Structure 1
Amino acid sequence: MKSTIAAALAAIALSATPATAQEADMNEATPYDISVHDDALAIEPTQMLNLGSAHFSGWREFVNREELDMALAPVLDRLEAWGPDTITVEAISGADCDQLERYGTFYAGAADTYCVTISEAAAHGDMSREDANIAAMETFLSGGPGDDPAARRNYVAQLMAAGEIYSALLQWRYLDPAERIAGEEVSQGMIDSLERFDARLKESVSIGVALAQRLGHERVWQVDDHSADMLYLRNADGFGERMREIWSSGSTEGREMYAGLMAKVQQDRDLTAFLIAMNDPEAQRLTIEGDFAKGLADTDERGIGQDYANWWQVRNMRMVANIVAAASLNRSQKTLNIVGASHKAYYDYYLDTMHHVELVDVGDILSQ
């Protein structure tokens, strides 16, 4: 159910003396509660399930890809039963990577860290990233490549040159193994890149792409955003050192909670229980208190902790905007958003303000 700002403010006003209420009115603006218009929505809202996950790339020491996929099978079964028609993952879209590369200094070199290399795909198909994105979107809006293997390989090439690697991998998986061949549409180097990417320990692959394949989706939507990284620029030299100081201060309950969950999942391989626990409101509270809330409380005159907290908010707002855009473009009835668990509470909070969104509880879906 949507949070109602107006109702909360009314309750405060009723309990206040006239003088107190008048003083509050003078010193604090009262926002207009746009949620009162949710009832005017002429269609069913999009159900959104925000699945906060660990980043499996850090699990190499105790699990391999085959073991990970086996442990995730019950999770995929439950998510498949829920039946999302749109899946988003924590990766930057090709179009946004284009901006990060064009203005690289502004974004502290984020493109080098977070964007996939497209040079071979662009050269093989003689496509710029811009042209490839346009071509791939046109193919998507026209209903996909159809059943012709050559058309699907060409779509894979478009998606790779566009920087949409998860969608490219999804389309590649749809091909019969005998049709996964180098030639006019894709080069052997492109195939090697796809196979290396497919072998990674990555929640966006083992949950996102795998579930999209089960459900027959045309795309996996990349919604991450690092344009907010420009907020690091004012204090670039001292940022890392100060943030380590901030993180090491105060309560360690969040780290202890996560360490306990990690120790348990390493032993029992119960990823269903692990993900339910990671998405629990109490786990989310401890995560925020051990991280972003410490940034908010930073009194250092350089404002590094404040920059960090603002960066996190701006990043998540832009990610949520990308989610809403993908859901709208896809006319989504049910959207699954797979993201690092520290984003979960911010996803829930910001998406809960949207007219077209109804949040779904992770525990309700994964416990079935």
Structure 2
Amino acid sequence: MKLFAFAATALLASPAAAQEPEILDLRQYDERLAVEPTQLLSLGTAHLSGWSEFVDRPQLDAALDPLLDRLEAWAPDTIMIENISGANCDHLERYGVFYAGAADTYCRDVGDAGEFTGLSRVEANIAMLETLMKGGPEDTPQARRALAATMLAAGEHYSALVQWLRLPEAERAAGEELSEAMVGRLDKLSTSLNESASIAVPLAVRLGHERVWPVDDHSADQLYLRNAEIFGKRMREIWSSGDTSAREKYMALTEKVKADRDIVSFLREMNSLEAQDMTINNDFAKGLADDQPEGVGQDYANWWQVRNMRMVANIVAAAAMNRSQRSLAIVGASHKAYYDNYLDTMHHIELVDTVDFLAP
């Protein structure tokens, strides 16, 4: 009996026993799906707000027209953006320190809209969802202005901008439904270069949507807390080590699009497998390779995975809630590979090849 016990213990400790376990591939059950899956196009992009040194909004609009025409023809019924929902911002603010102050960076103030409408952010979110679940507001200027105000109070600024821009220009004015400050906020947001304002919102307006769907999530920012004092310095060291070709590649693409304004070609390159691989090797993989005892790089790599998983969960929830047939998820290009890998495991999602979609 002692010999048997010794042999069993040795077997368990042997390298053969350390082999990776087999896992069940959940994708095999996709064929059982009784409905058509959501066709999902994840569009990785540069953050266009960084282009202000060489393009203004009218110039950007002109350059984006071919992309918007292509997206309009594809006609997604759900448009998702890399912004945080008002409900999520409410949570981040309530637990501010616990989430490393993420709300201060990523959430917009709703105080003036709440005061004008008399709605707390929670009440405004409930009112907004009740209206949207009934099919949207009445198609009158008063109803659209009122919903825009409710959306501002809810912290859903880009959806408020959709309602605002669906109004005839003569009806975009302050009054009973919106204060001068709220109108000023919407007008300022409408001129922003960022991709939510310059791609998602104009596309939603073209397609007659009532809203856009924010899917970003910064609750994973709590992973910064352990190394908050040294995090930035250490990550700059990690990023500057070894291969830096991704930045050189991006700068070359940016110089090209500065000259030719061919944003479709620019985005096709940004979404290529080569660009995705280069981005990860120059960024998150460097975090994985960090062997310092503080574990800053490991915290960073874990943060990125958790954030993207939560964003993908928001995408799947939005597509399901909207009974989406075709969804467009617009996001910073560094998210692209993580989006696609996680989304590919979802039963109700079928990925659209972004490079093929953007082909000449």
If the length of structure 1 is used for normalisation, what is the TM-score? 0.93
> Matches of 1:83 and 1:364 in 2, distance apart?
16
- Following TM superposition, by how much is the alpha carbon of 1:348 offset from its aligned partner in structure 2, in angstroms? 0.5
Segments of structure 1 that go 5 or more residues without pairing to the other structure are: 1-18
Tell me which residue corresponds to 1:52.
Answer: 44
Q: Which residue of the partner structure matches residue 159 of structure 2?
A: 167
Shift of 1:366: 1.9
Residue 177 of structure 1: how far off its partner (Å):
1.8
User: Closer, same or farther in 2 for the Cα pair 1:236/1:136, shift >3 Å?
Assistant: same
Q: Does 1:214 align with 2:206?
A: yes
2:176, 2:17 → 1: CA distance?
68
Task: Say which of 53, 65, 68 aligns to 1:73.
Answer: 65
Q: 1:186-265 residue pairs with structure 2 within 5 A?
A: 186-265=178-257
Give the alignment partner of residue 158 of structure 1, picking from 150, 154, 161: 150
How big is the shift at 1:28?
A: 2.3
Tell me, yes or no, if structure 1 residue 288 matches structure 2 residue 280. Answer: yes
Aligned to 1:123: 115
Q: 1-side partners of 2:315 and 2:187: how far apart?
A: 27
Q: CA deviation at 1:309?
A: 0.2
Give 3-state SS (helix, strand or coil) of 1:338's partner.
strand
Name the Cα RMSD after superposition: 1.3
Q: Please name the residue that 1:132 is paired with.
A: 124
Give 3-state SS (helix, strand or coil) of 1:48's partner: strand
Q: Show the counterpart of 1:367.
A: 359
CA distance, structure 2, for counterparts of residue 31 and residue 362 of structure 1:
29
The 5-angstrom pairing of residues 32-43 of structure 1 reads 32-43=24-35
Question: How many residues of Structure 1 are paired with residues of Structure 2 in the alignment?
Answer: 348
Output the amino acid matched with 2:23.
P
Q: CA deviation at 1:27?
A: 3.5
Label 1:185 to 1:24 Cα distance change in 2 as closer, same or farther (>3 A).
farther
Q: Supply the distance in 1 between the matched residues of 2:74 and 2:133 (Cα, whole angstroms).
A: 25
Contact 1:79–1:366 (8 Å) recurs in 2: no
Report SS of the residue matched to 1:29.
Answer: coil
Distance 1:252 1:265 in 2: 21
Q: Deviations over 1:326-351 (max 9, x none)?
A: 10000000000000000011100100
C-alpha change, 1:335 and 1:24, in structure 2 (3 Å) is farther
Shift of 1:358: 0.5
In structure 2, the partner of 1:298 is 290
Give the percent of matched residue pairs that are identical in Structure 1 and Structure 2: 63
Contact 1:82 1:365 in 2 (8 A): no
2:105 and 2:126 map into 1 onto residues whose CA distance is 24
Structure 2 distance, partners of 1:345, 1:135, is: 36
Q: CA deviation at 1:130?
A: 0.3
What are the ranges of 5 or more consecutive residues in structure 2 without an aligned counterpart?
Answer: 1-10
Match of 1:336 in 2: 328
Q: Tell me if the contact between 1:265 and 1:271 (Cα under 8 Å) persists in the aligned partners.
A: yes
Tell me, what secondary structure is at the counterpart of 1:51? strand
Asked if 1:319 corresponds to 2:318, the answer is no
Q: Secondary structure of 1:224's partner?
A: coil
Instruction: Give CA-to-partner distance per residue, 1:149-193, whole Å, 9 cap, x none.
Output: 111111111100000011000000111122222122111100000
Deviation, 1:25, is 5.8
User: SS state of the match for residue 219, structure 1?
Assistant: coil
Could you say what secondary structure the match of 2:83 adopts?
A: strand
Indicate the residue corresponding to 1:355 in structure 2: 347
CA offset at residue 134 of structure 1?
Answer: 0.4
TM superposition shift of 1:367: 2.1
2:308 counterpart of 1:308: no
TM (norm. structure 2) is 0.95
Alignment partners' CA distance in 2, 1:146 and 1:350: 38
**Does the 8 A contact of 1:79 with 1:365 survive in 2?**
no
